[in-house]
Amino acid sequence: MVNVCKCQKEFKERCTQCAAVSWGLTDEGKYYCTSCHNVTERSKEVINTGAIPNTKIQAINRGLKRKRKLERGWDWYVCEGFQHILYQQVEALKTLGVGPELKNEVLHNFWKRYLQKSKQAYCKNPVCRRKVTVLEDNQSHSDWDSEPELLRDFSCPSFAESGTESQPDGLAQKPFPISKASQSETASICSGSLDGVEYSLRKEKGIVKMTVPRTLAFCYLSLLWQRETVTLSDLLRFVEEGHIPYINAFQHFPEEMKLYGRDKGIFAIESWPTYEDIYKKMIEIAKFLDLPRFPDITEDCYLHPNILCMKYLMEVNLPDEMNDLTCQVVKMTGVGEVDFLTFDPIAKMAKTVKYDVQAVAVIVVVLKLLFLLDDNLEWSLSNTAEKYNENNKEDKPRFDFRKWYQVMKKSIDEKKQEWEEARAKYLWKSEKPLYHSSIDRAVAFKRREMVVDLQKQFSTLVDSTPTVGRKKPSSFQFNWAEGDAARTCFHGHSLQGILQNKGQSLTTKNSLYWLSTQKFCRSYCKHVTTYEESNFSLSYQFIINLFAFLLRIKTSFLHEEVSLIEKRLFKTKYSKTKKKSSRSRKGRKY
């Protein structure tokens, strides 16, 4: 150890590998970097023989240290891993334009609350420490640069320890207490983290265990709290497009946070997050954290159906005029009311509105009111609109469902194809291969190397057509332009001819309506209804498929939501529905 200090005085250049200035001597008298073991060509001139016993000590010391480094890296806990992922995610959200309070106040607090509720920190006897003998002589000054800022304010267990270890000064050479060493050795068999094995076995009633999908639930909860302009489907789409770290998020952990063994099962993800799943997890976490009622969703919030409907009308290229109708449906069904929209986890039946799905369902209902979507009326209305447009080229064009369908069908098919191709080509494996134990390590790395090699070889053979670079994050997936025949914009088209004046109000010309669901499921299976595609008209199928793809949800999921809106809209009809035929006559006045 004396030697190290001496060396430091003599040789002060930065290490070429890690830029640290911390030099030791090898047996041959060459300088090596104590933090990354890069051996230089420079050697120390042996002045006297007195240095020899010292180098011996150094050599032994180095041997131990190197072994430890190779297999273990820092000591860290599983919850720190999740914290790191959350940190990355929230940083990504920040770059997407979300306000900084989201990270510093909201998510931070949620996470603190989670650690406390799950008894991992901020409590007397944290779970992850129970079996670990904690260092007594804990030097708790940490200047770890890459430490997530989020963590600064609270001392999650072991951060101080890992901090000490990375210190490039003489303190790092301090021998480890025996109790600790034995602990790390046993742990190193099955996981890189200290409590990976224990964590994956842990099962406590009433405790929501952290998983990678739940990090997204946390993100969404914070977004919801902040009433940000990001819906759950947007969030998941950003994940899918790679704007928010999720799959292989662990590969951005600091180099010294080694993952293997059980950590693999905890952090490696081989599936995309699904709407339903994250939605459920979000409610579950909100209840577990015992969160109070969320800030009110009022009419000026992005998540209010009126605004979301407008957004989705634009997205799917429907006339702006339809917005009046959606607003009326929202009003009649009461889905725009604050109490309905605001999430209250403490309420008896905690559930939150699927804002995006609901807004889209409202649009579907409006389309049904206007065009009936029975594979008949919409086409005959299109014929009249087409004729009218031909004869009155100067006028504001009337909305032609057929034309719209053609444009949308083409665009959505292209998008879908692109999406499917991207999915088929998605590279799941991280640059850092995960392995089960140190025995596997070499194999896993070798395998990775081989895959990379092969990929390199084939990448020269790939079609040279310029692949569209990573899509810029946007809440819109389509871009409609006037003048471009393939992407005709229908926003400005009018609904004249579909609506008619009746006294002072406008009424839909079409006075028929059919209900998407006749009977609601009353059992405890949790879903309201089922969606058997072939039972429905082709137009309805198209519309449902279109929106379901936009939100990346299952068609049945949207169909359910449509049925729920209809249930609210036609309350009276539903009570009599048992006697009525499948097609209920209903004229609606506006």
Q: How far apart are CA 177 and CA 81, in angstroms?
A: 25
Query: How many amino acids of this chain bind other proteins (CB under 8 A)?
Result: 40
CB of 514 vs other proteins, minimal distance in Å: 27
Bridge partners (DSSP) of residue 248 are: 246
Instruction: State yes or no: residue 462 binds other proteins (CB under 8 A).
Output: yes
Q: Give the residue, chosen from 49, 186, 391, 460, that forms a contact with other proteins under the rule CB under 8 A.
A: 460
Smaller CB distance to other proteins: residue 169 or 421? 421
Smaller CB distance to other proteins: residue 198 or 234? 198
Smaller CB distance to other proteins: residue 82 or 404? 82
Binding to other proteins by CB under 8 A, coded x per residue (else -) over 229-268, reads: ---------------------------------x-xx---
Q: Give the residue, chosen from 305, 319, 397, 433, that forms a contact with other proteins under the rule CB under 8 A.
A: 433
With left for phi above 0 and alpha for psi between -120 and 50, is residue 552 left, alpha or beta? left
Which residues 321-350 are close enough to bind other proteins by CB under 8 A? none
Instruction: State yes or no: residue 200 binds other proteins (CB under 8 A).
Output: yes
94: closest CA among 75, 108, 114, 115?
A: 108
Place of tokens 């053979």: 461
What are the Cα distances from residue 372, in Å, to 74, 258, 509, 518, 587? 64, 59, 10, 16, 12
Q: Give the residue, chosen from 49, 125, 391, 457, that forms a contact with other proteins under the rule CB under 8 A.
A: 457
Q: Give the residue, chosen from 176, 272, 288, 590, that forms a contact with other proteins under the rule CB under 8 A.
A: 272
Give the 3-state DSSP-derived string for 329-397, with helices as H, strands as E and coil as C.
HHHHHCCCCHHHHCCCCCCCCCCCCCHHHHHHHHHHHHHHHHHCCCCCHHHHHHHHHHHHHHHCCCCCC
Which residues 89-118 are close enough to bind other proteins by CB under 8 A? none
User: Which pair of tokens denotes residue 328?
Assistant: 């009326």
Window contacting other proteins (CB under 8 A); options: 51-59, 365-373, 462-470, 508-516: 462-470
Instruction: State yes or no: residue 458 binds other proteins (CB under 8 A).
Output: yes
Instruction: State yes or no: residue 439 binds other proteins (CB under 8 A).
Output: yes
Q: How far apart are CA 132 and CA 181, in angstroms?
A: 11
User: Which pair of tokens denotes residue 146?
Assistant: 């890459």
Q: How far apart are CA 85 and CA 91, in angstroms?
A: 10
What are the Cα distances from residue 45, in Å, to 25, 51, 144, 520? 11, 10, 34, 88
Window contacting other proteins (CB under 8 A); options: 10-18, 199-207, 372-380, 559-567: 199-207
User: Which pair of tokens denotes residue 400?
Assistant: 């032609």
CB of 203 vs other proteins, minimal distance in Å: 5
CB of 560 vs other proteins, minimal distance in Å: 15
Q: How far apart are CA 315 and CA 305, in angstroms?
A: 15
In the chain, how many H helices and how many E strands?
A: 23, 7
Instruction: State yes or no: residue 186 binds other proteins (CB under 8 A).
Output: no
Window contacting other proteins (CB under 8 A); options: 32-40, 156-164, 461-469, 490-498: 461-469
CB of 465 vs other proteins, minimal distance in Å: 9
Longest dimension (CA), the chain: 111
Angle between helices 108-117 and 78-95 (to 10 degrees): 160
Window contacting other proteins (CB under 8 A); options: 86-94, 157-165, 421-429, 568-576: 421-429
User: φ, ψ for residue 61 (rounded to 5)?
Assistant: -60, -45
Instruction: State yes or no: residue 426 binds other proteins (CB under 8 A).
Output: yes
Place of tokens 């990375």: 166
Smaller CB distance to other proteins: residue 454 or 486? 454
Q: How far apart are CA 233 and CA 255, in angstroms?
A: 33
Place of tokens 């025995």: 439
383: closest CA among 371, 395, 366?
A: 371
Instruction: State yes or no: residue 549 binds other proteins (CB under 8 A).
Output: no
327: closest CA among 311, 353, 300, 305?
A: 305
Instruction: Report the 10 Å Cβ neighbour count for 313.
Output: 23
Instruction: State yes or no: residue 125 binds other proteins (CB under 8 A).
Output: no
Question: For the range 146-151, what are the long-range contacts, defined as Cβ-Cβ under 8 Å and sequence gap of 24 or more?
Answer: 146/254, 148/83, 148/84, 148/87, 149/87, 150/83, 150/86, 150/87, 150/90, 150/103, 150/107, 150/108, 150/111, 151/80, 151/83, 151/87
CB of 444 vs other proteins, minimal distance in Å: 8
CB of 443 vs other proteins, minimal distance in Å: 6
CB of 438 vs other proteins, minimal distance in Å: 13
Contact between 107 and 264 under an 8 Å Cβ cutoff? The reply is: no
**What single string gives the DSSP state of each residue in 38-71?**
PEEEEEPPP--TTHHHHHHHHHHHHHHHHHHHHH
CB of 449 vs other proteins, minimal distance in Å: 10
Window contacting other proteins (CB under 8 A); options: 215-223, 227-235, 460-468, 542-550: 460-468
Instruction: State yes or no: residue 196 binds other proteins (CB under 8 A).
Output: no
Q: Give the residue, chosen from 125, 464, 523, 535, that forms a contact with other proteins under the rule CB under 8 A.
A: 464
Window contacting other proteins (CB under 8 A); options: 35-43, 65-73, 307-315, 443-451: 443-451
Instruction: State yes or no: residue 468 binds other proteins (CB under 8 A).
Output: no
Binding to other proteins by CB under 8 A, coded x per residue (else -) over 499-538, reads: ----------------------------------------
Q: How far apart are CA 266 and CA 305, in angstroms?
A: 37
Q: Give the residue, chosen from 13, 169, 339, 420, that forms a contact with other proteins under the rule CB under 8 A.
A: 420
Window contacting other proteins (CB under 8 A); options: 128-136, 320-328, 334-342, 448-456: 448-456
Window contacting other proteins (CB under 8 A); options: 222-230, 284-292, 319-327, 442-450: 442-450
Smaller CB distance to other proteins: residue 272 or 379? 272
Instruction: State yes or no: residue 311 binds other proteins (CB under 8 A).
Output: no
365: closest CA among 581, 588, 577, 554?
A: 588
Instruction: State yes or no: residue 445 binds other proteins (CB under 8 A).
Output: no
The contact set with other proteins (CB under 8 A) reads 200-201, 203, 262, 264-265, 270-272, 420-421, 423-429, 433, 436, 439-440, 443-444, 446-448, 450-451, 453-455, 457-464
